[in-house]
């Protein structure tokens, strides 16, 4: 594990308006994530896992406190800067895969590289490599509708990993998968973490995922109640 | 460039929806171009026919002449000077003397405009050379409309009654020696053509004329005292105004067609933005700004117009080409409304028309695509990723 801090969260509070009142989703969060971690934010539904992940992914901003991701204070970034941060350094894996239905597997995985304005030959090389990592080289021309749930999530991992980001944020990646597929994709991510040193942060309450985590941060009612590192 | 590429991918991926929009829009394209082409063709034919048959390179009007006031006809004549006569002899001018008269076909009295023209003239397409006959009667020719109205045929004799320059009524027999067909109704309906010399003699106006038509090629230039030159712009005013009026009705059709096509695009865009929220959120998560996603959806909508133009070109160009070759038959009797219109109108499509129409459709489609796409910029990305209806 690389001990330099990639993410530093200090006194973070997130509130959402709910009618005339406010709902506090996260309260007084202080966390640090180092390079190469395989960590998970765990807790029941409504505990604030996804909200915290969204702030780390600069898709949302803190109401109070600071979240510094790769030396960028998320609350101070303009839309262009936060888009650049996501584009260059972050990868996302979603519970419902979020693959573009009209694109082929190749085109879905290629999309982040297109946004990076990479040359076609380079794109092809990286997409093929990424699909090799997840074992889907035989499905390049398939469309998401032709794939199983497990395969879709593997495409989603390939898309997140294709640009070799510093951090991958996975929000309930196994929620829609059976046990066999869940283990398969978790093993794939574990291997990528080990081989490439990519930091993985999960938001999950799935026991199958939790057993793979090297660090477990437990959230309850928007507060960190435990932060354990596996022996 | 990236937005173009992604928009193209999205459109091609949407298959049937894209095709339906493209087909509707391409049909709108074609009908707009065809309609405008038909009006252009009519305009061009009407101008050409009027120039060839009636006004040549422009007309000198005797200063009292007013075609809309029949009471001016009596005084609308003047003697041609030697210079004018020389120009007539050289084929640069052709004189037309106009007189009011009455004819009595089958005993019915009909008011006509009797016009004298030189049978040797070659300046107008009017077949004046047919105005020959025996000396027992005045040879006369009429157009098909007049022949139909007066129930006259070639070889028929008809009495003509007129007032000469001194106001004395006189009458004579005239024989219809030729019936001509023209698209220019103003030289046909209620007009009887006779040899200029005969009319000058009948009116007791030797070397006098009402109009002097100039040649299109080497027309007479300069002023003629007592005559006022009327150029094409003035003489073709009626045609121009009629085409403009027809263009307005064409614009209404254009608006209806465009509205239908734009409704389809707008509907698709609204539906896309509603149904593709996850996709919008995913684009943002992958590193696009909301503004870029708005641009992507706008380009995607606008690209319908580009693809429709290509589709329209593929099936439309052969159709329009065939139509331009074979022409469009006008309903019978259309030319009786006083319009210069051919039996078959050949549409005329200019590059300007095609490019102009394409640009208008493209700009309108872009605006219609942009309006619903603006909603994306107000979306919460975290909700969009989860496909929460916003």
The per-residue pLDDT for range A141-168, each reduced to its tens digit, is 999 999 998 899 999 999 999 999 999 9
Rounded Cα distance between B390 and B388, Å, is: 6
Asked if B16 has any chain A CB less than 8 Å from its own CB, the reply is: no
Which of B13, B282, B387 lies nearest to residue A102, judging by beta carbons? B13
pLDDT tens across A109-121, in order?
999 999 999 999 9
- pLDDT-derived band of residue B389, with 50, 70 and 90 as boundaries? low
Question: Who has greater pLDDT, A38 or A3?
Answer: A38
Of the candidates B154, B150, B161, B126, the residue with the CA atom closest to the CA atom of residue B140:
B154
- The alpha carbon of residue B273 is apart from the nearest alpha carbon of chain A, in Å, by 14
pLDDT tens across B40-77, in order?
888 888 889 999 999 999 999 999 999 888 888 888 99
A59's tokens: 């898709």
The pLDDT value recorded for residue A178 is 85
How many A/B residue pairs have CB atoms within 8 Å? Answer: 71
Tell how far CA B252 is from the center of its chain.
17
Query: Residue B329: in which H helix or E strand, if any?
Result: strand B328-329
Residue B223, phi then psi, degrees to nearest 5 = -95, 150
- Rg (C-alpha) for chain B, rounded Å, is 31
Residue B16, CA distances (Å) to B20, B23, B338 in order: 6, 10, 49
- With a cut of 80, say whether residue B133 has pLDDT above it: no
Q: Are B109 and B102 in contact (CB under 8 A)?
A: yes
Domain boundaries, chain B: 2-51+238-385, 59-230
* Residue of B275, B287, B300, B383 best to disrupt the A interface, most CBs of A under 10 A: B287
- The alpha carbon of residue B16 is apart from the nearest alpha carbon of chain A, in Å, by 12
pLDDT tens across B312-331, in order?
999 988 998 898 888 888 77
Rounded Cα distance between B305 and B343, Å, is: 35
pLDDT tens across B186-210, in order?
898 899 999 999 999 999 999 899 9
The residue of chain B with its CA nearest to that of A159 is B286
Residues A125-128: contacts with CB within 8 Å, 24+ apart? Answer: A126/A162, A126/A163, A127/A158, A127/A162
Query: Judging by beta carbons within 10 Å of its beta carbon (0-12, 13-18, 19+), is residue A45 exposed, middle or buried?
Result: exposed
Which of B10, B282, B287 lies nearest to residue A83, judging by beta carbons? B287
Asked if B387 has any chain A CB less than 8 Å from its own CB, the reply is: yes
pLDDT tens across B69-116, in order?
888 888 899 999 998 999 999 889 999 999 999 999 988 899 999 999
The residue of chain A with its CA nearest to that of B377 is A79
- Per CB-CB distance under 8 Å, the chain B contacts of A86 are 284-287
Residue with tokens 């330099």: A4
- pLDDT-derived band of residue B337, with 50, 70 and 90 as boundaries? low
Question: Who has greater pLDDT, B369 or A30?
Answer: A30
Yes or no, beta carbons of A87 and B287 under 8 Å apart: yes
Residues constituting chain A:
231
A127's tokens: 């997409």
**DSSP 8-state symbol, A45:** T
Average pLDDT over all residues of chain B: 87
Yes or no, beta carbons of B285 and A107 under 8 Å apart: no
Mean pLDDT of A41-45: 92
Of the candidates A134, A154, A135, the residue with the CA atom closest to the CA atom of residue A144:
A154
DSSP B214-240: EPSSS---S--TTEEEE-HHHHTHHHH
B245's tokens: 């009026």
Asked if B19 has any chain A CB less than 8 Å from its own CB, the reply is: no
The pLDDT value recorded for residue A28 is 93
- The alpha carbon of residue B303 is apart from the nearest alpha carbon of chain A, in Å, by 17
Dihedral sign for Cα B273, B275, B277, B282, please: negative
Asked if A111 has any chain B CB less than 8 Å from its own CB, the reply is: yes
The residue of chain A with its CA nearest to that of B379 is A59
Residue ranges of A 77-106 with Cβ closer than 8 A to chain B: 79-80, 83-84, 86-88, 92, 94, 96, 98, 100-103
pLDDT tens across B207-261, in order?
899 999 999 887 677 888 999 999 999 999 988 888 788 778 777 877 887 788 7
Q: Are B214 and B60 in contact (CB under 8 A)?
A: yes
Asked if A112 has any chain B CB less than 8 Å from its own CB, the reply is: yes
- pLDDT-derived band of residue B120, with 50, 70 and 90 as boundaries? very high
Question: Who has greater pLDDT, A231 or A70?
Answer: A70
Asked if B12 has any chain A CB less than 8 Å from its own CB, the reply is: yes
pLDDT tens across B163-184, in order?
988 889 999 999 999 999 988 8
């Amino acid at each position: 594990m690389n001990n330099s801090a990639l993410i530093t969260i200090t006194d973070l509070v997130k509130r959402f308006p709910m009618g005339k009142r406010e709902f506090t989703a996260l309260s007084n969060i202080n966390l640090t994530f180092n390079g190469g971690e395989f960590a998970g934010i765990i807790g029941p539904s409504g505990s604030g896992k996804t909200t915290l992940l969204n702030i780390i992914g600069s898709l949302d901003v803190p109401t109070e406190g600071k979240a510094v991701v790769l030396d960028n204070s998320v609350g101070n970034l303009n839309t262009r800067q936060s888009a650049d941060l996501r584009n260059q350094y972050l990868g996302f894996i979603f519970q419902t895969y979020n693959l573009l239905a009209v694109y082929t597997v190749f085109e879905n995985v290629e999309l982040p590289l297109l946004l990076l304005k990479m040359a076609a030959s380079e794109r092809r090389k990286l997409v093929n490599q990424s699909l090799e990592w997840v074992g889907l080289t035989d499905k390049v021309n398939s469309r998401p509708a032709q794939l199983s749930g497990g395969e879709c999530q593997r495409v989603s991992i390939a898309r997140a990993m294709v640009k070799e980001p510093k951090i991958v944020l996975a929000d309930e990646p196994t929620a829609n998968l059976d046990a066999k597929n869940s283990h398969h994709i978790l093993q794939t991510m574990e291997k990528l973490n080990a081989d490439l040193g990519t930091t993985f942060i999960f938001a999950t309450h799935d026991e199958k995922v939790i057993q793979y985590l090297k660090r477990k941060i437990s959230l309850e009612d928007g507060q960190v109640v435990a932060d354990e590192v596996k022996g | 460039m990236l937005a173009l590429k992604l928009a193209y991918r999205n459109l091609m991926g949407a298959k049937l929806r894209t095709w339906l929009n493209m087909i509707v829009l391409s049909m709108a394209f074609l009908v707009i171009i065809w309609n405008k082409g038909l009006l252009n063709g009519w305009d061009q034919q009407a101008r050409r026919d009027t120039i060839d048959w009636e006004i040549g390179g422009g007309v000198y009007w005797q200063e009292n002449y007013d075609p809309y006031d029949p009471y001016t006809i009596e005084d609308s004549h003047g003697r041609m000077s030697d210079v004018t006569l020389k120009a007539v002899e050289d084929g640069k001018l052709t004189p037309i003397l106009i007189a009011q008269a009455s004819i009595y076909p089958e005993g019915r009295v009909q008011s006509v405009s009797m016009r004298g023209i030189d049978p040797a003239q070659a300046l107008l397409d009017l077949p004046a050379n047919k105005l020959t006959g025996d000396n027992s009667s005045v040879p006369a020719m009429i157009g098909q409309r007049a022949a139909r109205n007066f129930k006259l045929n070639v070889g028929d004799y008809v009495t003509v009654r007129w007032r000469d320059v001194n106001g004395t009524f006189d009458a004579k027999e005239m024989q219809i020696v030729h019936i001509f067909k023209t698209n220019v109704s103003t030289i046909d309906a209620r007009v009887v053509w006779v040899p200029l010399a005969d009319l000058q003699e009948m009116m007791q106006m030797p070397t006098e004329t009402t109009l002097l038509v100039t040649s299109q090629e080497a027309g007479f230039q300069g002023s003629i005292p007592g005559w006022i030159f009327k150029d094409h712009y003035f003489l073709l005013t009626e045609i121009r105004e009629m085409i403009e009026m027809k263009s307005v009705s064409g614009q209404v059709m254009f608006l209806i067609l465009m509205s239908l096509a734009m409704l389809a695009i707008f509907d698709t865009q609204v539906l896309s933005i509603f149904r593709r929220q996850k996709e919008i959120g995913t684009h943002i998560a992958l590193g696009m700004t909301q503004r870029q996603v708005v641009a992507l959806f706008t380009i995607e909508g606008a690209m319908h117009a580009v693809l429709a133009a290509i589709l329209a070109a593929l099936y439309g160009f052969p159709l329009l080409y065939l139509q331009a070759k074979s022409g469009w038959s006008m309903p019978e009797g259309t030319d009786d409304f006083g319009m210069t219109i051919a039996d078959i109108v050949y549409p005329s499509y200019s590059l300007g028309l095609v490019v102009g129409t394409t640009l208008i459709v493209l700009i309108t489609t872009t605006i219609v695509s942009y309006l619903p796409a603006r909603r994306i910029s107000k979306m919460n990305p975290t909700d969009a990723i989860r496909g929460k209806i916003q």
